[in-house]
Chains A and B, each alone.
Chain A
Amino acid sequence: MTTPLFLARRRIYFTALGLLLAAGVALCIWSAGQRVTPPVLGDYHLYQCDTGGAAGSPVFKLQLVTSVRAREIAERLCAAPSVQRIYRGVQVSWKPRALLTAEEILSEEYDLIWSRSHSMAGLVPEYGDYYEPLLHYDHYRVYWYSRGGAPQLTADYFHGKRVGLLNDKLSHTLYLLPLASLKEAGVNFSEENLRYFDDAVSLYQAFARDELDLVSGGDYVRTDLDIPLSRTLISGDANAATLFVRKTRAGATDCAVAEAFDGLADAYLRGRRVFAGAEHCVP
């Protein structure tokens, strides 16, 4: 069997070779394709440590507003003998506080919640039936921050300035206190350039990019942003936070929990123990 003469052309020969190579490459690529078995990802807003307690015992759960020191607090609790006796582990969550739901309060999902009383009441008005305060943090200082000269609390100063606020009507630092400050200065909200953000990170990034002239915030703003700033105190005695604990808790751990948070009460937060028997804690 001989091939027809017209097939013996060079062009056809090299075309056939090319097609053969292409088919080989296609087969190679097709056969080498792989799929990955779905990876199981953990929750990266949670940290859990083991106390070494009995296997069937519950886990002590905390809901904090910041990831800073969250894992350190969990570790301290895991190391506390009074916690080890009752709980097999300690789990700390630093999901955004806006994600805390009424259901979680009603079902007492968390043994400890870092929040403020008005936030709690906003979710569940009778939250006091389930939770009571353990620690108050006051003397929390909130400032106006500006990239230029120190902010002045007058209507003239604010006029024409781009002011960033958080779109969260329960936020002390980024909504309630700055609005109160503007009102006190006699600023007409409707006339001024108030910009609302869905989250604090976007707010501060916009400020860092010079898209805002003024933002409010605690002492942390200076360390987090790391740019030259001027500031003016809005309130030196804001209620930064309250730690709420379940009313039906095992009271034996109160002292250990309060101690675990001691480190947090550094230069700009003052913790005040408000639970029954606080005076009996071993210093």
Chain B
Amino acid sequence: MPTCGGGVFLPGLNTVFPDGMRSAPNPRVLLLAWGTLSLLLCSLAGWQVQRSLSLDLTRQLNQQLPDKLALALQTRLSDEPLRQWLVNRLEQDLQTLNAEGGLPLVHSCSARVTQLMEDGHAPMAGAAARSINIAWNIGSEPRATSLMLECHYNWPVLLLSQSLLALLLVIIASRLPYPLSKPQRARIARLIAMGLPASRARRLASQLCDAQIAWFVRALSLNGGDCDAALVAAHAQQQLVLDTASQQVQIHGVAIKLAKTPFFYYLWYAQLRQQGEGWLLNPPVNRPDRAGAESLIALMETHGGHAKSINDLREHGLRAKKLDQNRNKIRDELVSALGEELASAYLFESERDLKSGRYRYRLSLAAGQINVL
């Protein structure tokens, strides 16, 4: 007999999700994520190449350039041809800058002079990643020189390395356990508390809705751990099946054994409901209903009811007390098996008859939800 630990599945019921917790990642979403991330990382790497080179070049130039510029430019206040010549010389010296790093992302760089000599120290805030600012002095007068770095990227290496990194990230991200909602986690916890293995619990929690879980849990505790039968109950219709041969009721796929006499009363009410409105007015206390008892007696005789009950009905007729007793027995049995909540739909509803002032009763279920075998 298949049990919950065994992991035997009913065909057609648990085929949706491979591992029950994650819908398979959409390849188009993954492709889009990969493309976006590649683009992002490429820009980031490009920016970092310029930033790191600018910083390093700034550091290198800070060691040499201030002295050299001060030496060249301090003899006169203004000498425009000299400045032009110096700009050309400096740009010539910075024409071919070779970069070295973990990845050969750059063929070569060059630096362009944007401002050879400016009074005061140029503000550094908001500077682009590739701008280089050198502060120096003529005597005590601060001066600033600005350069701009221009690099030729090694595009194949840049694109390949960053798209590979992006691919790695997307693969890892797709392997992350997908998050579950709070109710979903509560359902899983409930199933695990029932003794189900965690993987099975997750699978079921993703397949069943809350109401179905309730039925599954109830059926499992009633049938002594038969998971497959419980699953059938969970997926079953809202239906009451009365089996006259075995004198058993099946509620929502869950089999419940009733004592003989209450079973026949339940069957009688069910048949009344199937035939029409299904209301049965309780007879007055001092005047039992002899005619009404006939159909119940016939039902009991046909299907082997207790002789004692049949005799009682013949002698005293249908009494309100007996009706109340048996409805209460049915109610107690169902509630003890299914719990108040699940059982309520399968119990009786009542209303006061205005003419007689007495109560009348019927099954709450619709006629189509009742099946008598």
Contacts and interface: CB of A to CB of B under 8 A. Distances in A.
Given A5-B189, A225-B77, A43 B68 contact: yes
Identify which of B41, B76, B97 gathers the most chain A CB atoms within 10 Å of its CB: B76
B162 A5 contact: no
Contact of B138 (A37, A39, A41, A201): A201
A43 B71 contact: yes
A205 interface: yes
Interface stretch (A61-69, A117-125, A183-191): A61-69
B100 A202 contact: no
A95 interface: yes
Interface in A117-155: none
Nearest to B143: A201
A276 interface: no
B177 interface: yes
B52 A35 contact: yes
Nearest to A223: B78
Identify which of A41, A43, A68, A197 gathers the most chain B CB atoms within 10 Å of its CB: A41
A36 to B, nearest CB: 5
Interface in A1-38: 2-3, 5, 7-10, 12-14, 16-17, 20-21, 24-25, 27-38
A20 B173 contact: yes
Contacts of A99: 71
B177 A3 contact: yes
B198 interface: yes
B179 A9 contact: yes
A205 to B, nearest CB: 6
A67 B84 CA distance: 12
A224 B89 CA distance: 24
Contact of A41 (B64, B105, B169): B64
Contacts of A36: 53, 56-57, 60, 97-100, 109
A253 B173 CA distance: 80
Interface stretch (B42-50, B265-273, B313-321): B42-50
Contacts of B64: 41
A8 B177 contact: yes
B6 to A, nearest CB: 17
Contact of B94 (A21, A39, A66, A199): A39
B173 A202 contact: no
A45 B67 CA distance: 10
Interface in B4-32: 19, 21
B368 interface: no
Contacts of B68: 41, 43-45
Contacts of B53: 34-36
Contacts of A95: 71
Interface string B52-69: 110011001100110011
Contacts of B19: 2
Interface in B278-292: none
Contacts of A42: 89, 93
Interface in B103-140: 103, 105-106, 109, 119, 138-140
B138 A33 contact: no
Contacts of B105: 32, 34
Contacts of B119: 205
Contacts of A199: 74, 138-141
B160 interface: no
Contacts of A201: 74, 76-77, 138-139, 141
A104 to B, nearest CB: 15
A270 interface: no
B161 interface: yes
Identify which of A21, A38, A42, A204 gathers the most chain B CB atoms within 10 Å of its CB: A38
A35 B90 contact: no
A44 B79 CA distance: 14
B75 interface: yes
A71 interface: yes
Interface in A178-237: 197-202, 204-205, 220, 224-225
Given A66-B76, A201-B139, A225-B77, A38 B86 contact: no
B60 A2 contact: no
A96 interface: yes
A95 to B, nearest CB: 5
Contacts of B44: 25, 28-29, 32
A10 to B, nearest CB: 4
A28 B85 contact: no
A199 B100 CA distance: 41
Interface of A: 2-3, 5, 7-10, 12-14, 16-17, 20-21, 24-25, 27-45, 47, 65-68, 70-71, 94-96, 99, 197-202, 204-205, 220, 224-225
Given A199-B141, A205-B141, 9 more contacts: A5-B188, A24-B37, A24-B169, A33-B102, A34-B101, A37-B97, A68-B76, A70-B82, A201-B139
Interface of B: 19, 21, 37, 41, 44-46, 48-49, 52-53, 56-57, 60-61, 64-65, 68-69, 71-79, 81-82, 85-86, 89-90, 93-94, 97-103, 105-106, 109, 119, 138-141, 161-162, 165-166, 168-169, 172-173, 176-181, 185, 188-189, 192, 198-199, 202
20 contacts: A5-B189, A5-B198, A13-B179, A16-B176, A24-B168, A31-B101, A31-B161, A33-B101, A33-B102, A34-B106, A35-B99, A36-B97, A38-B60, A39-B57, A66-B79, A68-B82, A71-B81, A71-B82, A200-B77, A201-B138
